[in-house]
C-alpha cells in the first residue's frame, strides 16, 4: 500500500494539472471501490473547479469551489493517471473506474485493479472530522511532530517502538517501510518498549523520520508491486533501502559485521540490524 512519500509524490504530480482546473465531465464507471461512491458523485463533481490539492496522512484531498472536498485513498493498487491536454484519449480500460475530463483537454483517470481504494465527498469544513481523518496524529513533516510531543506520547508505553510509530493516532502517515528505515538510522531496536526511549533517543529519532521521508519523496517514493508516480514512472527510493527487504544481507554501516534480520511484529515484517540497533 502506498505510504506517505508515495502519496505526496502523486499529489505533487497532480497539482499542476488539477489545481485551478474545472471538471467538465465526470465519468463514474462503477458503483463502488472499497465502499460505495457517495450519492450523485458525478453530478457533484461536474462543473466544479479544484481550488487546492492537499494531502492528509495517506489521503489526497481535492478542495472544490462548491464547498466540498474529494477524498481519495489509493488502497493496495490504485493509480491516478494523467493525460495532458492535446494527448489522445484512449477509451477507459477495465480497471479505469473514475475518469475526470478537465477544461482545456486534460484527463485524470483513477485506475485500481483490486478496488481497495476509496473516494468520498464531504463539506470541506467537515474534513477534519471525516471518519477516515478524525483522530489522526500530526503530520511527520510538520511542526506538530517534535521531541516534546513524541516523548510525551511514548512515555509509559509498553508496546514496541515500531508499533507506536505505526499508530496513526500518534503520527499520521508513517508506514512500515519508513519506520524500519528511520529506526535503523537512529540505532533503535524495533522491539524496544516505546516508553524505554530516552529523551536523547527521541531527539535523535524525530529529525531522522523527517529525513527518511524527505529523501523518499525526492526519489519519487518506493516502487514495490503496483506503485507508480502520477506520470507513470517508477519511484526509486527502494534502491536506497538500508534494511527494508534486505533480510540475510550485510549491514551497510561501515565496519559493522551485522546481518539484516527480519521479524514479524503485529503481522508486519520488520527489518533491522541486531548490531547497529539496540
Cβ-defined contacts of 239-246 (< 8 Å, 24+): 240/215, 241/177, 241/181, 242/181, 242/184, 242/185, 243/180, 243/181, 243/184, 243/271, 243/272, 243/273, 244/176, 244/177, 244/180, 244/181, 244/271, 245/271, 246/271
Q: Are 140 and 134 in contact (CB under 8 A)?
A: no
Which has the closest alpha carbon to 232: 5, 9, 8?
9
Q: To 5 degrees, how large is the angle CA 71–CA 3–CA 15?
A: 50
Which residues are designated catalytic?
2-3, 58, 268
What is the DSSP secondary structure assignment for residue 125, as one 8-state letter?
G
Mark residue 57 as left, alpha or beta (left: phi above 0; alpha: psi -120 to 50; beta: remaining).
left
Cα(232)–Cα(93) distance, rounded to whole angstroms? 16
Residue recorded with cell 507513470: 232
Could you tell me where the beta strands, DSSP code E, fall in 75-171? 79-83, 96-102, 107-111, 118-123
Which has the closest alpha carbon to 127: 186, 203, 70?
70
Residue recorded with cell 497532480: 14
Amino acid at each position: 500500500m502506498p505510504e506517505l512519500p508515495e502519496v505526496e509524490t502523486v499529489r505533487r504530480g497532480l497539482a499542476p494539472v488539477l489545481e485551478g482546473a474545472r471538471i467538465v465531465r465526470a465519468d463514474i464507471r462503477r458503483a463502488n471501490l472499497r465502499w460505495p461512491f457517495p450519492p450523485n458523485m458525478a453530478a457533484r463533481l461536474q462543473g466544479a473547479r479544484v481550488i487546492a490539492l492537499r494531502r492528509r496522512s495517506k489521503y489526497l484531498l481535492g478542495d472544490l469551489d462548491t464547498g466540498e472536498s474529494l477524498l481519495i485513498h489509493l488502497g493496495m493498487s490504485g493509480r491516478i493517471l494523467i493525460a495532458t491536454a492535446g494527448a489522445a484519449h484512449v477509451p477507459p480500460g477495465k480497471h479505469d473506474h473514475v475518469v475526470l475530463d478537465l477544461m482545456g483537454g486534460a484527463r485524470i483517470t483513477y485506475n485500481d485493479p483490486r478496488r481497495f481504494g476509496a473516494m468520498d465527498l464531504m463539506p470541506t469544513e467537515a474534513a477534519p472530522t471525516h471518519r477516515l481523518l478524525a483522530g489522526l496524529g500530526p503530520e511527520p513533516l510538520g511542526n506538530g511532530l517534535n521531541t516534546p510531543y513524541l516523548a510525551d506520547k511514548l512515555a509509559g508505553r509498553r508496546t514496541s517502538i515500531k508499533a507506536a510509530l505505526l499508530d496513526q493516532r500518534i503520527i499520521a502517515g508513517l508506514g512500515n517501510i519508513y519506520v524500519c528505515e528511520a529506526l535503523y538510522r537512529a540505532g533503535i531496536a524495533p522491539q524496544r518498549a516505546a516508553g524505554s526511549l530516552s529523551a536523547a533517543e527521541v531527539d535523535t529519532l524525530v529529525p531522522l523520520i523527517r529525513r527518511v521521508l524527505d529523501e523518499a519523496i525526492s526519489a519519487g517514493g518506493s516502487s514495490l508491486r503496483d506503485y507508480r508516480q502520477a506520470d507513470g514512472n517508477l519511484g526509486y527510493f527502494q534502491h536506497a533501502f538500508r534494511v527494508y527487504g534486505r533480510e540475510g544481507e550485510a549491514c551497510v554501516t561501515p565496519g559493522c559485521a551485522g546481518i539484516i534480520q527480519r521479524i514479524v511484529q503485529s503481522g508486519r515484517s520488520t527489518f533491522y540490524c541486531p548490531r547497529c540497533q539496540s
